[in-house]
Structure 1
Amino acid sequence: MLEEQTIRDLLALPSFGRQASVLRRHLREPLEDASQDLVIELIEHRLKSWSDADVEDAITREMPELQWRITFARKDIERHEWHDERVEADKSEMLSLVIPPDPHSEQETSEAILRANSILHNRQSREWVASVLLHGKQQTMTDFNQTPRQFQAKLHKMVNFLSEHRKDIDK
């Protein structure tokens, strides 16, 4: 774990300030939040294997490897944030392809399931979509023995397939 003084020295680096500023712009968040996210990513991931003395030495000698680690820590944060945004967009897109159900209306949920079933021909896919609409992500992942990555891949496939074949049903 890095000492407090080492973290202060890290925060004072020009490259840290530049990367925090870039992160602030890309994620549209305050500079303080971007700096905090960046320092946490550095401590927990990119500098995890470095000792306090190694980091101090790299700061003092202005080692390019430290500058790269700061840059790639920023890119890691951006990648995670943008991935989360894509996942949420895929979820909302999937639900908007079938009639968007009101959580209080069982009729709308059943209509959405019937509409998806009219597009899908595979029994397992129909059951998976029904499970997502009725029970949500966690229960579907448990029922179908899926990892988060498998669930996201299946969700993406379903969104694409339903998008492509929706016009056939709307006719």
Structure 2
Amino acid sequence: MSLSGEYVEKLRSIDSYQVAVHKLMNRLNLKNYEADQLLYIQLTEHRLKTFDEEVLLIKIDEQDVRLKWAITYACRDVTRREYADRKKQENIKQSEVINLDRPDRLTEHDLNSILNLIPKLFKNHFTAQWCISVLEYGEIETRENFNMTKRQFSDKLYQVELYCKKHREKMVNMVLSKQQQDFLEEEATLRKFIETVEREDFRDEDFNELIEEHYEFIDDVIGCIPRLQQPKLLLEDFKTCSSIDKYKLVNRLYERLDELERKMIEQ
């Protein structure tokens, strides 16, 4: 969606927009113009994409409440995406520590981690033992132990490195700690709830179904929310509980996702 310069400035002057930009700057350590660009793109290409242009211009003029919520959600979209991208890059870096060509560059900690990882990565026992030998003893001793010529060693090394590149995602998952895996599972669950709430055709029944699917998880979330009017009803029948309790639960899901993503990026 393309807005005229006048309406771009009007959009950027809305208090919710300015607050969102500052949140992105603080959360993601961005400069003002970087945060502004990310937010603007997310808004115009995603959150406001379904708005009729004429209606959108009216909403900007009126600083409509629904528009302000779209800005808030867009800010969260950007934050989640940036956290996920940064975490993915970090995991890829970890997966790249397997360097059979220069094992001398590995720290002792990395070497021990990789030695434990190799039998899980390579199902072929011979290949796994060969990789371990290269990392522990180097090329010359490995060639002697496995009765290989220099050409055979080079060919095997090429095959192993090719396999690692093809299975990078598998390796990334393997280097994740148990805590990181738990974080990712919780993040996926939270996203399911939030994406359901943010749908334009959202129905309480859909939320009820998700609660049934993730009963223990939501029970735990509800247990952390103070001063609920009817916590049991909120868990058992979301549709009939009070709007205040609904709001508190949904708001807590957003807060929990924000907290989780901060933990993930800090690890």
Separation in 1 of the partners of 2:25 and 2:38?
10
Residue aligning to 1:134: 161
Q: Could you tell me how far apart the structure 1 residues matched to 2:82 and 2:55 are? A: 29
Match of 2:61 in 1: 60
Corresponding position of 1:108: 103
Q: State the match for 2:184 in structure 1.
A: none
Provide the C-alpha distance between the structure 2 equivalents of 1:117 and 1:15, rounded to a whole number of angstroms. 47
The CA deviation string for residues 22-72 of structure 1, in whole angstroms up to 9 with x for no partner, is 111111111111111111111111111112212111122322111111011
Structure 1's unaligned 5+ residue stretches are 142-150, 162-171
TM-score, scaled to structure 1 = 0.65
Going from structure 1 to structure 2, the CA distance change for 1:58 and 1:121 (only over 3 Å counts) comes to closer
1:87-126 alignment runs, 5 A limit: 87-96=88-97, 98=98, 101=99, 106-108=101-103, 115=115, 118-120=118-120, 123=123
The reply to whether residue 157 of structure 1 matches residue 156 of structure 2 is no
Give the match's secondary structure for 2:51.
coil
What CA distance in whole angstroms lies between the structure 1 residues aligned with 2:121 and 2:163?
22
| Residues 56 and 120 of structure 1, relative CA distance in 2, 3 Å threshold | same
Q: TM-score, normalised by structure 2?
A: 0.44
Percentage of pairs with the same residue: 20
Equivalent residue letter for 1:115: L
Larger Rg: 2
Contact 1:6 1:55 in 2 (8 A): no
- Once residues 13 and 67 of structure 1 are traced to their aligned partners in structure 2, the CA distance between those partners, rounded to angstroms, is 8
What SS does structure 2 have at the residue aligned with 1:29?
A: coil
Residues 8-19 of structure 1 aligned to structure 2 (within 5 Å):
8-19=9-20
**How far has the Cα of 1:78 moved from its partner?**
0.9
The separation in 2 between residues aligned to 1:121 and 1:3, in whole angstroms, is 51
Output the CA distance in 2 between the equivalents of 1:39 and 1:118: 45
Structure 2 residue runs without a partner (length 5+): 129-156, 178-267
Aligned length: 140
List aligned pairs for 1:44-55, cutoff 5 A: 44-55=45-56
In the superposition, relative to structure 1, how do residues 117 and 12 fare at CA in structure 2: closer, same or farther (>3 Å)?
closer
Secondary structure at the aligned position of 1:106 is classed as: coil
Deviations 1:77-119 (A, max 9, x none): 11111101111222223344x5xx3xxx72539x97x836753
